[in-house]
Structures are given as C-alpha cells and as structure tokens.
Chains A and B, each alone.
Chain A
C-alpha cells in the first residue's frame, strides 16, 4: 500500500503518467500547468524517458502523434490557449486512431484571457475543437487524487480504444496541494500490431487519416469511428453522486465547481433542504441516462459551472425537457460562491413553498 504524500495536482498527474508507463512527453510552457513539464524534465531522465520542450503547441502534439504511432505511451499537457493550438494534431490523432493522453489545465478565456482556473473549454473538449467528426474521451477530475487516478486510467482507455483521452482539469485543481496516495500500475498490456516499428517479418503498416480511394473510403472510415464511439458511449459511464437519492434540488457540476457545490449540499442538508450533487466524471461520453434517472425525481436542476453556459447544454440534453434546468455560471477565473449556490437553492424552496400554498 502506497503512503499518503502531499502533492500539487499537476505533479500528482505527472507522476501518475510515469506510473502508467508513459515515457514520451512533449509540451510547451503555459500557466497554470507549468509544474507538469518541470516535473517531467526532472523525472523522465531518471526513468529513461523523453522530456522535450517543443517549439510550439503544434509541434508538441505532432511529436505525440509520432511517438504514439511508434506504439509507445505518449502525453502532452497544456492550458486553454495552448489547447486551441493543439486541435490540429488532435484531429489527426483521432483520424489516425492513435492512443495518447492529453491534459488541459484550464484557465480563463477567450483569447489570452487570464491565468486563473476556469472551465471555459467544455465545448472545445466535448464537441471536438478540431476539424471533422471525431470524439475524444474526456475525464473530469476534481482533486489531486483524481488527477493521479484518472491519468493512470486514461492511458489504458487510450490503448484499449485507440483514441486520445483528455484529462480536463482546471487551474485550481492543478495548482492546489492535497494529500495523494499514488496509484499502482494497472499491469494491463495492449497488443499494438498496427504500430510503426519497421516492416520486419510483416507487410508494411501505414497510419494516415487521408482516405481517398475508393470513393467511399472516408465515409466508411467515419462509420467505423462512429461504431467505436458508440461502443465507448456504452462502456464508459462515470459519475459520482452525493445525497442524490431523495434530492429535491439537484446540482450538476464538475471539477472545482463541484467541490464548492458539494459543500453547498452539506450546508443545505444541515438546514433541512434536500439538495444533492451529480458529478459527471466523464464529460464525453456524458452520463446522460444516469443524470436523467436521478434528475427526473428532482424539482429543479441547477448547473454550476466556471463558464457561461456550456455544461448546462449537456444537462438539458440529458433531462430532455422533463425537468427545469437553471444555470449559475462564473467566468474569467471567478469561482462559484458557496453562499450564492445556497441562496439559489433556497430561492427554489421559497418558490416551491409559495406554489404549494397557492394550490
């Protein structure tokens, strides 16, 4: 059993990548994820791996593509504006069906924005910021422990499905120091007969996203990708729930926003208000059926996010009009205030009480 250590979230993630067997890491500096490349620059030489500070985000993600094509575990990390640049390579990696792990420690935008944590890249992460019909698995950790655990898991998922897996964290989770029990390696191994290792004793392998011949090759490829995405949607349903069993008022949040929401649930429960928290741990696939099942018994759903109405779209799609969905969004590095969440839920209580009296 590993012992508990105090680590910054970003460093816990970096060490977890090493534990998972990642030996190729390429990145470009950007705040608030700089602890990851700094950590990797120390650790990779110790474990015989590659740390390379790339000339750009475009280059870093392409280096990941090259290493992944060689059949080894590769990772890059960045923050919001840097992730925007990486979308080119992510689309190619998705089209080429290569496994890799991507990390976005989100900061405020749009543009250069600011360096404080935010969740404004939800659309970019879950809808695909690059060109074409593709998906990436998106995991949403809410603590240093989850940053570590989800990273180890991410490498297995990437290899299992030959897909990029994105860890969508925010600057607060990445920067905060917390007790962490570093995960053990899973020990899972994956055959990679498609890897480019030289055509020795086999015919040549080609990895490309270009599909020209025959005429329907690209549509066939897209249909194949879609089948894979459907399979992933069936298999990956990750949620964490807190006091949702009899929740009258259901909060939906992830990452830092969910930590604050959880506290709000505690306070509301202390006051006798039946609040609960639904925390999606996978943002794509979004656990829509699970949310629907829980939300249908609630009086109202409140989405709390550090963006101006992005997560709330998936929440609305999940409940499909059956339950009213409200939004409390903060942006630009601001975090949702505990009192504001409590007051919003209390306002539902008052509203409900009035309705009951009137009827």
Chain B
C-alpha cells in the first residue's frame, strides 16, 4: 500500500474557498456544494448566472463561483425570466427559500412555471423565515412554534403549510419537479442527482425544472444540529413527501422538435 494519500473528497471547483455565514447544522452549505458539483460536472460554470433570493441565502453568489445577481424578495423567478429571455444560451438558477417562493413571490413562482421558462429553481424549504429571526413561513408545520406563531401554527387562522411541488404539478409546462431532502447522507446523494438532472435539462433547453429540498434550520428550531436533521425526517417529510412529481424530458424533446 502506498503512503500517498488519495483525496477522496475535495472542494468542488465551483465552490468559493471562504467561510460561509451559515449557522452550524444549516442545510444551505450542503446545497451550495451540490449545485457547485453539478455545474462543474455539466461543464457550465462559465456560462451560469445564479440569482440569490432575499433570505438566508442572500449572499449565495459569494459562495458559488459563477456570475451572481440579486433579486427583490420573491422576484427571483421574474428576474431569471428576464435574464434567460435576454441570454437564452446561459444557464440561470433561481435559488429561493420558503417565504420568498411561496409567500411574497407566489405569483412569480406560479407564472414562471406556467410559462415553462427554461430555468432551474432550487427551492430550500426549512419551514421558517431564517434570516429575519424565525417567523412563521408558508411551509411552517401545523402546531409549529415560531416567533410569530408562539402558540403553534393554527390552520384555522393561517391555513395549512403549502406544498409547492404538488401545486406546480397541476401545471402543464414544467419538465421536472422533485422534492428531496438533505437530512442524512443518503438523501444528500439523492438531492445531488435531482439537482444534476434539473440542470442537465436546462442545459438541453428542455424548460422549467424545479427541485424542492427539505432542509434544517436548527438555530430557529432552538435545537442541536443533529436534532434539526431528525426533525426534517420526523416532522417535515410526513407532510412534504419526498417524491418525483414530474420527469418528462422525452415529451419536451418532441415538443421542442415540433416547434
């Protein structure tokens, strides 16, 4: 056996070598790394623009080695639409959180999907507004206590947590819709596959791809990182089932050829 160490695990080329501002146990860092890996594997790092949302991932462009753009809260899909229409050869990623995608940006979310814009949405669902200190999100679970639902989310008053994938799955245009998670290594690997597929479809010009990723926010849950990950598994997944809702590249390829 050689004494030489073979690196089994290294920083992907697309991930900037800096400390992130994310809390311990947060899922954003993992998801950033998966996006960076996928962009490197698809060899599109030099023609990708990442749109950062308002929320915890507002500085995402500092951590991924691609051109970066900021959108107003909820408007990332509209910004992505304008950019992609202007530069159809580029890869455009809209990275969004639950408040961004399902509250203030619901209109943009639905209409961008409905138009089948040739972009990829990475939706990080951690059931809470992280950046502003832990307010109730559109995906906050029933009974879940937050800064603005101190008695627990009461559906009679504020409705039930919204399921984005199921909602978007009613639309004809999207090519790919999947919900994954990053609460353990196996689910991280599945998420990587989903991100890779979504971006590959965009590279092939097949239209709108959407990956919802259940993620941990132990800081705002007030728990240890490990407990945060368990909470995703035990509390979130029963309401937000991990599932591939839509995957029809062949159909889109035919449509593309016909048009």
Contacts and interface: CB of A to CB of B under 8 A. Distances in A.
Interface of A: 23-24, 26, 50, 52, 54-56, 58-60, 62-72, 74, 88-89, 92, 96, 196-201, 204-210, 212
Contact of B72 (A23, A70, A88): A88
A208 B71 CA distance: 8
A66 B65 contact: no
Contacts of A52: 81, 85
Contact of B65 (A26, A62, A199): A199
Interface string B94-110: 00000000000001101
Given A197-B67, A208-B70, A74 B86 contact: yes
Contacts of B51: 66
Interface in B184-204: none
Shortest Cβ-Cβ A-B pairs, 10 listed: A66-B82, A63-B82, A198-B47, A208-B70, A62-B78, A66-B83, A62-B75, A55-B111, A66-B79, A67-B86
A299 B35 CA distance: 70
A198 B85 contact: no
Given A66-B83, A198-B49, A206 B107 contact: no
B67 A206 contact: yes
B149 interface: no
B45 A199 contact: yes
Contacts of A196: 49, 67-69, 83
Contacts of B74: 58
B66 A204 contact: yes
B75 A59 contact: yes
Nearest to A207: B69
Contact of B46 (A70, A88, A200): A200
Interface of B: 45-49, 51-52, 58-59, 61-62, 65-72, 74-75, 78-87, 90-91, 107-108, 110-111
Given A59-B108, A66-B51, A207-B69, 7 more contacts: A63-B82, A65-B75, A65-B79, A204-B65, A206-B67, A206-B68, A208-B68
Which has the most chain A C-beta neighbours within 10 Å: B49, B52, B71? B49
A207 B70 contact: yes
Contact of A62 (B48, B68, B72, B110): B72
Contact of A66 (B48, B61, B78): B78
Contacts of B90: 70, 197-198
A343 B75 CA distance: 52
30 contacts: A52-B85, A55-B78, A58-B74, A59-B78, A59-B107, A60-B78, A62-B71, A62-B72, A62-B75, A62-B82, A63-B79, A64-B82, A65-B75, A65-B82, A66-B71, A66-B81, A66-B83, A69-B49, A70-B86, A72-B86, A88-B72, A92-B72, A96-B70, A198-B90, A200-B46, A201-B46, A204-B66, A206-B61, A209-B70, A210-B58
A56 B52 CA distance: 21
A50 B88 CA distance: 11
A208 B81 contact: no
A93 to B, nearest CB: 10
Contacts of A206: 61-62, 67-69
Contact of A54 (B61, B78, B110): B78
Which has the most chain A C-beta neighbours within 10 Å: B61, B66, B78, B108? B78
A199 B67 contact: yes
B83 A50 contact: no
A24 B67 contact: no
A58 B61 contact: no
A88 to B, nearest CB: 5
B82 to A, nearest CB: 3
A207 B72 CA distance: 12
B56 to A, nearest CB: 13
A208 B83 contact: no
Nearest to A200: B46
Contacts of B111: 54-55, 59
Contacts of A201: 46
Contacts of A67: 82-83, 85-86
Contact of A208 (B49, B52, B78, B84): B52
Given A59-B75, A196-B49, A26 B68 contact: no
Nearest to B45: A199
A199 to B, nearest CB: 5
B246 to A, nearest CB: 21
A211 B99 CA distance: 22
B105 to A, nearest CB: 9
B86 A66 contact: yes
Nearest to A73: B86
Contacts of A54: 78, 111
Given A58-B78, A65-B82, A198 B67 contact: yes
Contacts of B70: 92, 96, 207-210
A55 B59 CA distance: 27
Given A197-B67, A198-B66, A207-B69, A24 B82 contact: yes
A199 B66 contact: yes
Nearest to A59: B78
A66 B90 CA distance: 12
Contacts of A210: 58-59, 70
A198 B83 CA distance: 12
A288 B215 CA distance: 56
